[in-house]
Structure 1
Amino acid sequence: MTASAALTVIQASTLTLDDTQPRVEAVLVGGGRVLARGSREEVAALAPRARVLDHRDLILTPGLAEAHIHLVAYGFSLSQLNLHGARSVTEVQAKVAQRALQTPPGTWIRGGGFLLSELGLGGYPSAALLDEVSPHHPVLLYSRDLHLSWANSLALRLAGITEATADPQGGKIVHPLGTLLEGASELVTRVMPVPGEAEYLAAAQAGADDLAARGYVSAHTMAFEAPEAPRALQTLAARGELPLRIWACLPHERLAHARELGLALNPGGLFQWGGVKFFADGALGSRTAWLHAPGFADGSGTGMPLDPPDLIRERGAEALRLGLTPVTHAIGDRANHEVLNAYDALRPLAAERGVRLRIEHAQHLDPKDLPRFQGLTVSVQPIHLQADGAMIRELLPHLAKTSYAFRSLKAAGAILAFGSDAPVAPPEYRATFAAALTRRDDEGQPLAPGEALTEEEILWAHTRGPALAAGWADEGIIRPGARAAFTLWDRIGGHAQALVL
Structure 2
Amino acid sequence: MRQTKLKAVVVSAGLVIMMCSSAYADTLIVNANGYTIDRTSKLIQFDAMVFNDQGKVVVTGDGKKLRKKYASAKLIDLQGKTVLPGLIDAHGHVFELGIAASQLSLRASANLEQAQKAIAEYAQKYPQHQWILGGEWNQAIWKLGRFPNAAEIDAVLKDRPVWLRRVDGHAGWANSAAMKLAGISRDTPDPQGGKIERDANGNATGIFVDSAMSLVEKVLPAKNESEMRAALDAAMAQLRSVGLTSVHDAGVSKEDDHLFREYAKQEKLTTRVYGMISGVQGFFDEVAKSGPLNSFAEDKYALRAVKLYSDGALGSRGAALLAPYSDAPHTKGLLFVSNQEMQTMVDKAASRGYQVNVHAIGDAGNLQVINSLAALKGKNSATVLRHRIEHAQVLQLSDIPRLKMSHIIPSMQPTHATSDMNMAEDRVGKQRLEGAYAWRTFLKQGSRIACGSDFPIESPNPFWGIYSAVSRQDFDQKPEGGWHAEQAMTRLEAFRCFTLDAAYAANQENILGSLEKGKWADFIVLDQDIFKVPVKQIYQTQVLQTWQAGKQVYAK
Interval of TM-score (by shorter of Structure 1 and Structure 2): over 0.9
Higher CA-based Rg? 2
Q: Indicate the residue corresponding to 1:306 in structure 2.
A: 336
Paired residue total: 498
Give, in whole Å, the separation in 2 of the partners of 1:369 and 1:49. Answer: 57
**SS class of match (1:156):** helix
- Alignment partner for residue 155 of structure 2, among 120, 132, 136? 132
Give, in whole Å, the separation in 1 of the partners of 2:382 and 2:323. Answer: 36
Letter in 2 for 1:377: I
Q: Return closer, same or farther for 1:105/1:22 CA change in 2, 3 Å cut-off.
A: closer
Q: Indicate the residue corresponding to 1:241 in structure 2.
A: 268
Give, in whole Å, the separation in 2 of the partners of 1:351 and 1:189. Answer: 35
- The answer to whether 1:57 aligns with 2:89 is no
Q: Indicate the residue corresponding to 1:93 in structure 2.
A: 116
Deviations, residues 107-141 of structure 1 (Å, cap 9, x unaligned) = 10111111121122222221111011111111000
Determine if contact 1:171/1:184 at 8 Å carries over to the other structure: yes
- Alignment partner for residue 277 of structure 1, among 298, 307, 314? 307
- Alignment partner for residue 186 of structure 1, among 187, 199, 214? 214
Give, in whole Å, the separation in 1 of the partners of 2:249 and 2:525. Answer: 23
**SS class of match (2:81):** strand
Letter in 2 for 1:107: Q
1:36: how far off?
1.6
Letter in 1 for 2:82: I
Letter in 2 for 1:415: R
Determine if contact 1:320/1:353 at 8 Å carries over to the other structure: no
- The answer to whether 1:74 aligns with 2:101 is no
Determine if contact 2:292/2:305 at 8 Å carries over to the other structure: no
Give, in whole Å, the separation in 2 of the partners of 1:352 and 1:79. Answer: 39
Give, in whole Å, the separation in 1 of the partners of 2:385 and 2:457. Answer: 28
Determine if contact 1:205/1:236 at 8 Å carries over to the other structure: no
Give, in whole Å, the separation in 2 of the partners of 1:226 and 1:455. Answer: 35
Deviations, residues 433-484 of structure 1 (Å, cap 9, x unaligned) = 2211111257823322111111111111111111111111110011110011
Determine if contact 1:106/1:136 at 8 Å carries over to the other structure: no
CA RMSD of aligned residues (A): 2.1
- Alignment partner for residue 491 of structure 2, among 450, 455, 458? 455
- Alignment partner for residue 525 of structure 2, among 488, 496, 501? 488
1:319: how far off?
2.1
Deviations, residues 300-355 of structure 1 (Å, cap 9, x unaligned) = 42110013333333332332233211000010111112211111112533459831
- Alignment partner for residue 279 of structure 2, among 229, 252, 260? 252
- Alignment partner for residue 196 of structure 1, among 218, 224, 235? 224
Letter in 1 for 2:29: I
In terms of mean alpha carbon deviation, does 390-399 or 248-257 score higher? 248-257
- The answer to whether 1:14 aligns with 2:65 is no
- The answer to whether 1:424 aligns with 2:461 is no
- The answer to whether 1:479 aligns with 2:516 is yes
Q: Indicate the residue corresponding to 2:13 in structure 1.
A: none
Determine if contact 1:350/1:357 at 8 Å carries over to the other structure: no
Determine if contact 1:83/1:114 at 8 Å carries over to the other structure: yes
**SS class of match (1:250):** strand
- The answer to whether 1:386 aligns with 2:418 is yes
Q: Return closer, same or farther for 1:21/1:425 CA change in 2, 3 Å cut-off.
A: closer
- Alignment partner for residue 29 of structure 1, among 48, 51, 55? 51
Letter in 1 for 2:179: L
Equivalences for 1:120-159 in 2 at 5 Å? 120-159=143-182
Q: Return closer, same or farther for 1:259/1:315 CA change in 2, 3 Å cut-off.
A: farther
- The answer to whether 1:499 aligns with 2:531 is no
Give, in whole Å, the separation in 1 of the partners of 2:326 and 2:380. Answer: 34
1:260: how far off?
5.7
Q: Which runs of 5+ in 1 are unaligned?
A: none
Determine if contact 1:265/1:324 at 8 Å carries over to the other structure: no
Give, in whole Å, the separation in 2 of the partners of 1:447 and 1:88. Answer: 24
**SS class of match (2:376):** helix
1:21: how far off?
7.9
Deviations, residues 5-24 of structure 1 (Å, cap 9, x unaligned) = 23111221222201478222
1:246: how far off?
0.5
1:214: how far off?
1.0
Letter in 2 for 1:197: E
Q: Return closer, same or farther for 1:453/1:52 CA change in 2, 3 Å cut-off.
A: same
Q: Indicate the residue corresponding to 1:290 in structure 2.
A: 320
Q: Return closer, same or farther for 1:53/1:229 CA change in 2, 3 Å cut-off.
A: same
Determine if contact 1:68/1:220 at 8 Å carries over to the other structure: yes
Q: Indicate the residue corresponding to 2:466 in structure 1.
A: 433
Q: Indicate the residue corresponding to 1:401 in structure 2.
A: 434
Give, in whole Å, the separation in 1 of the partners of 2:75 and 2:350. Answer: 44
**SS class of match (2:450):** strand
In terms of mean alpha carbon deviation, does 99-108 or 415-424 score higher? 99-108
Letter in 2 for 1:24: F
Determine if contact 1:401/1:447 at 8 Å carries over to the other structure: no
Deviations, residues 169-221 of structure 1 (Å, cap 9, x unaligned) = 32222114200111111121111111111111110111121100111101100
**SS class of match (2:80):** strand
Divergent runs of 4+, >6 A: none
Equivalences for 1:202-213 in 2 at 5 Å? 202-213=230-241
Equivalences for 1:215-230 in 2 at 5 Å? 215-223=243-251, 226-230=253-257
Give, in whole Å, the separation in 2 of the partners of 1:352 and 1:135. Answer: 50
Deviations, residues 47-89 of structure 1 (Å, cap 9, x unaligned) = 2111112224122221111111111011000110111132211
Determine if contact 1:389/1:442 at 8 Å carries over to the other structure: no
